[in-house]
């Protein structure tokens, strides 16, 4: 039986290695939907802050947005995994992401002893984006061009505001709403924002919390989890069709971050108790770590 002392001593070299480093943590999946899980993840983030790590949180909120839309009598529409965002949908997105989820995460952090500030990409010119081009999709055998509405992609990250907050001991909590050059609000994919933010901040780690144990060779078999992948191995899995659909935005975010100098990107199951601590402070880890090519 492993003693508490052994657990602490195993963590010591990792605490020393990660001390005073910036880590971008993307919250999504069950961690966002179920309050108990979210609170446990927040407690782990506060612990990381107290051992000298500087967390920066980026959060999504897709399931909550969909639920809110349906309660308001509006059916959500998706193309290529992206939500079609008209004027009304954008207002719902802003209401859920900024007014609800961002506030909830920030309040939990403060309740458990951290200094935290809620932000979105419009604050201080943090994220400037451009509207995504119309997407070509095949429907009933014919190709169609679909305008996604107010859906954007990152153009420029200005990390100055986040860096100032980190220097003063705050945990920034960022909602993925950005602004274009004309001042229009745009809805961005949270995984993409997290990868771009990690690259801009030159973070040590990017950690993506999701609903699965990591990247699986067989999506139906958790025992096929791949614990460590290089960028070229990751590309190979995409080409083979092993990585697809919902995992693609996370993989692309990991590639952007690691290609830009982030030491590693981790894809882990956010619903597992103390997932962050197990991944960062133990030898085995519990998810998939993406690293640069040798």
Q: Is residue 10 part of a domain?
A: no
Tokens encoding 20: 């005073």
230-257 mean pLDDT: 91
Per-residue pLDDT, averaged over 122-150, amounts to: 85
- At 222, the pLDDT band (50, 70, 90 cuts) reads confident
Residue 73 has pLDDT above 80, yes or no: yes
Edge-first strand listing for the sheet containing 205-210: 115-120, 170-175, 54-59, 22-27, 205-210, 264-269, 288-291, 228-230
- What was the pLDDT predicted at 219? 85
Threshold 0.85, pTM exceeds:
yes
Classify residue 72: in a domain, yes or no: yes
- Looking at the chain, the whole-number percentage of residues with pLDDT higher than 90 is 70
Residue 98's domain is classified under what CATH number?
Answer: 3.40.1160.10
Cross-strand pairs, 173? 57, 118
Cα distances (Å, whole numbers) of residue 159 to 9, 21, 43: 35, 15, 25
What is the structure's pLDDT at 2?
A: 46
Residue 7, domain member (yes or no): no
- Tell me, what's the pLDDT at 41? 95
Residue 61 labeled ligand binder:
yes
> Which residues span the domain enclosing 39?
18-291
Residue 1 pLDDT exceeds 60: no
Q: Is residue 151 part of a domain?
A: yes
Three-point CA angle 278, 244, 39, nearest 5°: 35
Look at residue 143 and tell me whether its pLDDT is greater than 90. Answer: no
Is 13 inside any structural domain? no
- Name which residue leads in pLDDT, 5 or 196: 196
Query: Under 8 Å CB-to-CB from 50, ≥6 apart: which residues?
Result: 113
Which whole number is the average pLDDT over 25-42?
A: 82
pLDDT at 95: 94
When the pLDDT of each residue in the chain is averaged and rounded to a whole number, the result is: 91
Q: For residues 65 and 60, what is the distance between their CA atoms, to the nearest angstrom?
A: 10
Annotation-wise, does 187 bind a ligand? yes
Query: Residue 44: inside a domain, yes or no?
Result: yes
What pLDDT does residue 30 have? 62
Annotated ligand binding at 285? The verdict is: no
- Region 122-142: mean pLDDT is 85
Query: Would you state the pLDDT for residue 106?
Result: 97
Could you give the CA distance from residue 138 to residue 270 in angstroms, rounded to a whole number?
34
Q: What is the DSSP string of 126-153?
A: -EEEEEPPPEEEEETTEEEEE--BSBEE
Number of Cβ atoms within 10 Å of the Cβ of 81: 12
Two tokens, residue 172? 């920034």
Residue 125 assigned as binding residue: no
**% pLDDT > 70, the chain:** 94
Taking Cα atoms as reference points, which of 11, 88, 100 lies closest to residue 52?
A: 11
User: What is the predicted pLDDT for the residue at 8?
Assistant: 77
Would you say residue 37 lies in a domain? yes
Closest CA to 41 of 167, 210, 162, 195: 210
Does the pLDDT at position 233 exceed 60?
yes
pLDDT at 216 over 80: yes
- Number of domain units in the chain: 1
Q: What pLDDT does residue 144 have?
A: 75
On whether residue 8 sits in a domain, the answer given is no
Please report, for residues 21, 258, 270, 287, the alpha-carbon distance to residue 261 in angstroms, rounded to integers and kept in the order given.
14, 5, 25, 21
Average pLDDT over residues 146-150: 90
Average pLDDT over residues 142-168: 92
What is the structure's pLDDT at 192? Answer: 95
Name which of 117-121, 133-137, 235-239, 276-280 the model is least confident about.
133-137
Q: Are 202 and 261 in contact (CB under 8 A)?
A: yes
Contact 159, 104 (CB under 8 A): no
| Beta pairing partners, 26 | 58, 208
């Amino acid at each position: 039986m492993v003693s508490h002392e052994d657990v602490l001593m195993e963590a010591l070299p990792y605490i020393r290695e990660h001390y005073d480093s910036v880590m971008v943590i993307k919250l999504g999946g069950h961690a966002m939907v179920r309050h108990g899980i979210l609170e446990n993840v927040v407690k782990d983030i506060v612990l990381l802050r107290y051992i000298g790590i500087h967390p920066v949180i980026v959060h999504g909120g897709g399931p909550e947005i969909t639920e809110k839309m349906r309660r308001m009598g509006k059916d959500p529409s998706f193309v290529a995994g992206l939500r079609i965002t008209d004027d009304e949908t954008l207002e719902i997105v802003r209401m859920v992401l900024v007014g609800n989820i961002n506030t909830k995460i920030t309040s939990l952090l403060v309740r458990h002893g951290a200094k935290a500030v809620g932000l979105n990409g419009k604050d201080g010119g943090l994220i400037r984006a451009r509207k995504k081009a119309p997407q070509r999709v095949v429907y009933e055998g014919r190709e169609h061009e679909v305008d996604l509405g107010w859906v954007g992609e990152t153009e420029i990250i200005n990390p100055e505001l986040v860096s100032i907050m980190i220097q003063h001991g705050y945990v920034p909590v960022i909602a993925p709403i950005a602004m274009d050059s004309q001042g229009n609000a745009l809805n961005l994919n949270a995984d993409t924002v997290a990868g771009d933010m990690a690259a801009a901040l030159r973070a040590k780690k990017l950690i993506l919390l999701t609903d699965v144990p990591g990247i699986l060779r067989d999506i139906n078999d958790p025992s096929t989890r791949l614990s460590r992948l290089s960028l070229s191995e990751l590309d190979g899995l995409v080409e083979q069709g092993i990585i697809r659909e919902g995992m693609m935005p996370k993989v692309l975010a990991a590639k952007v971050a690691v290609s830009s100098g982030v030491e590693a990107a981790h894809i882990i199951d956010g619903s597992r108790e103390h997932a962050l601590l197990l991944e960062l402070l133990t030898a085995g880890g519990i998810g998939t770590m993406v690293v640069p090519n040798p």
